[in-house]
């Protein structure tokens, strides 16, 4: 029987935490806001509206590229990626094609093909047999990190994705919060005979996965599914698939597009963007100490690998440790962490009781969130806010997740 080896590559989308959107002045912080309240003619794609690039988003995109060891194009441009879908009001997305800001990088021994900048799309909400569209997210700056297909195991993929998230958070360019959709994972998966060095003549893309656990399950399922197809003499289709959390399997969506299907051409309303070597080197000098360097520094101080992993992953804990860098201080800091079983929510009892009541009254919402439909979280937050007025959105969201996890 043939032994099969996976061939895996990633496309990771990161929403940047800029104040405004990519090409207009609308607020970029869209999570939990009433639908279609943060829009304008530009992000709604109305005739005659002209885009103006967000300079801070461009800077942050390039800083991420530098942190990933990328080469930077001193001349870059935006392109139109043409496709028709309800969440894309213009009928095209402003993205980058042949001259991205960053290219040819490396992280943990894996090659980064490109780091480019584009605009996010709107969100589709499927309710009661109808599809609604919220354009608050439309136009939010979105960085895409594309890797080469050089991953051969689920474990290796998991380490890479978590390290990428850690770098993004260290740069403070995004919260990279997958529950809110500010970091979304897509995997391109195929399999080949173990003794073969050739790339397969197909690939299956898993779209919009919102957790490390789910992307691992999706990849594992695809490796098994594709291996069985090949063993039966059937070549897997080149297609796009989604991951169903409730079923624990991927589900076919549509045929996979090739680059020529998008009919890329230069964005006529935005001229090419020029950089100087001095400008790039200035941004390079502003990079903070990256996670790999922080971990190495902690190891050099004599901490165990377990302590290094814990302290390096928490900025407050790291800063507290560095005030008095000693093993005794590390013991004190790590051992006083609240356990997972302890509640870490200072939300009042009223907030908890209202949240429990709202969740109990909306059983479908529980199933939807467990199935990965993160947009339902906004609905639950809205229901709680109706009763309580102002709420701490991040804490209330965490509280909701804890309650749902216990259901």
Q: Is residue 227 part of a domain?
A: yes
Whether residue 222 sits in one domain with residue 76: yes
Structural domain that includes position 25: 4-274
Is there a single domain that holds both residue 216 and residue 313?
no
Residues present in the chain in total = 407
Question: Can you tell me whether residue 80 is helix, strand or coil?
Answer: strand
Say if residue 384 is in the same domain as residue 252. Answer: no
Does some domain include residue 183?
yes
Task: Tell whether 299 and 256 lie within a shared domain.
Answer: no
> Which single residue is written with the structure tokens 């403070």?
172
Residue 341 is predicted with a pLDDT of: 42
User: Could you tell me if residue 366 is inside a domain?
Assistant: yes
- Kindly give the residue spans of alpha helices, DSSP state H, lying in 363-392: 363-370, 376-388
Confidence (pLDDT) at 258:
67
Residue 217 has phi, psi (to 5 degrees) of -65, -40
pLDDT tens for the chain, 407 residues long, are: 689 999 999 999 999 999 999 999 999 999 889 999 999 999 999 999 999 999 999 999 999 999 999 999 999 999 999 998 899 999 999 999 999 999 999 999 999 999 999 999 999 888 888 899 999 999 999 999 999 999 999 999 999 999 999 999 999 999 998 888 899 999 999 999 998 989 999 999 999 998 898 999 999 999 999 999 999 999 999 999 999 888 889 999 877 666 678 999 999 999 999 999 999 999 999 999 999 999 999 999 999 888 898 899 888 889 999 999 998 899 888 877 554 444 444 485 567 778 888 888 888 888 888 777 777 888 898 888 887 877 888 788 888 887 877 66
Q: Is residue 282 part of a domain?
A: no
* pLDDT at res. 256: 65
| 15 shares its domain with 121 | yes
pTM, 2 dp: 0.82
Q: 230-245 burial, b for 16+ CB within 10 Å, e for fewer?
A: beeeeebebebbebbb
| E strand map for 220-339 | 239-244, 249-255, 265-266, 273-274
pLDDT at 396: 86
183 plus 315 within the same structural domain: no
DSSP 27: B
Beta strands in 96-154 (DSSP E): 102-107, 110-119, 123-127, 130-134, 141-147
Tokens for 186, please give them: 């897509």
CB 175 within 8 A of CB 32: no
Domain assignment present for residue 285? The answer is no
Give the number of other Cβ atoms within 10 Å of residue 79's Cβ. Answer: 22
Residue 169's Cβ-count burial label (10 Å; 0-12, 13-18, 19+) is middle
Residues in Cβ contact with 296 at an 8 Å cutoff, skipping those fewer than 6 apart: none
Q: Is residue 237 part of a domain?
A: yes
Q: Is 254 inside any structural domain?
A: yes
pLDDT of residue 346: 44
Asked if 16 and 133 sit in the same domain, the reply is yes
Together in a domain, 104 and 192: yes
**Residues 247 and 329 placed together within one structural domain of the fold:** no
Q: Are residues 183 and 310 located together in one domain of the fold?
A: no
**Burial readout 266-290 (b: 16 or more C-beta within 10 A, e: otherwise):** ebeebeebebeeeebeebeeeeeee
Domains held by the chain: number: 3
> Does one domain contain both 397 and 299?
no
Burial class (CB in 10 A: 0-12, 13-18, 19+), 211: middle
CATH code assigned at 367: 1.10.10
Query: What residues have CB less than 8 Å from 105, skipping those under 6 apart?
Result: 65, 68, 69, 70, 71, 111, 112, 115
Q: Residue 82: inside a domain, yes or no?
A: yes
pLDDT of residue 343: 43
* Same domain? 143 vs 15: yes
């Amino acid at each position: 029987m043939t032994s099969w080896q996976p061939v895996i590559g990633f496309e990771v989308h990161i929403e940047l935490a800029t104040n405004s959107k990519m090409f207009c002045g609308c607020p970029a912080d869209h999570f939990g806001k009433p639908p279609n309240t943060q829009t304008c003619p530009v992000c709604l794609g109305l005739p005659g509206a002209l885009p103006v690039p967000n300079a801070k988003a461009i800077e942050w995109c390039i800083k991420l590229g530098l942190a990933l060891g990328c080469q930077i194009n001193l001349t870059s441009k935006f392109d139109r990626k043409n496709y028709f879908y309800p969440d894309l009001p213009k009928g095209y997305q402003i993205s980058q094609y042949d001259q991205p800001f960053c290219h040819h990088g490396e992280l943990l021994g894996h090659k980064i093909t490109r780091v480019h900048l584009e605009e996010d799309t709107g969100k589709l909400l499927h309710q009661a047999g109808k599809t609604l569209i919220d354009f608050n997210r439309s136009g939010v700056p979105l960085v895409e990190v594309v890797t080469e297909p050089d991953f051969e195991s689920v474990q290796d993929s998991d380490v890479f994705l978590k390290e990428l998230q850690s770098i993004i958070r260290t740069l403070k360019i995004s919260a990279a919060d997958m529950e809110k959709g500010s970091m979304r994972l897509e995997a391109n998966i195929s399999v080949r005979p173990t003794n073969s060095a050739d790339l397969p003549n197909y690939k299956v893309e898993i779209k919009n996965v919102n957790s490390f656990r789910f992307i691992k399950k999706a990849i594992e399922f695809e490796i098994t599914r594709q291996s069985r197809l090949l063993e039966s003499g059937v070549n897997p289709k080149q297609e796009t698939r989604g991951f169903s959390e409730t079923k624990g399997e991927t589900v076919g969506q549509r045929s996979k597009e090739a680059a020529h299907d998008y009919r890329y051409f230069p964005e006529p309303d935005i001229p090419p963007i020029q950089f100087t070597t001095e400008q790039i080197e200035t941004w390079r000098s502003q990079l903070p100490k990256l996670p790999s360097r922080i971990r190495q520094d902690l190891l050099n101080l004599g901490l165990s690998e377990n302590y290094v992993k814990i302290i390096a992953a928490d900025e407050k804990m790291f800063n507290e440790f560095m005030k008095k860098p000693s093993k005794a201080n590390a013991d004190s800091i790590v051992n006083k962490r609240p356990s997972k079983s302890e509640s870490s929510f200072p939300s009042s009892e009223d907030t908890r009781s209202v949240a429990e009541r709202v969740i109990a009254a909306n059983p479908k919402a529980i199933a939807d969130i467990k199935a990965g439909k993160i947009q339902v979280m906004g609905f639950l937050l809205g229901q709680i806010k109706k009763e309580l007025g102002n709420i701490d959105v991040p804490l209330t969201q965490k509280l909701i997740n804890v309650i749902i996890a216990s259901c």
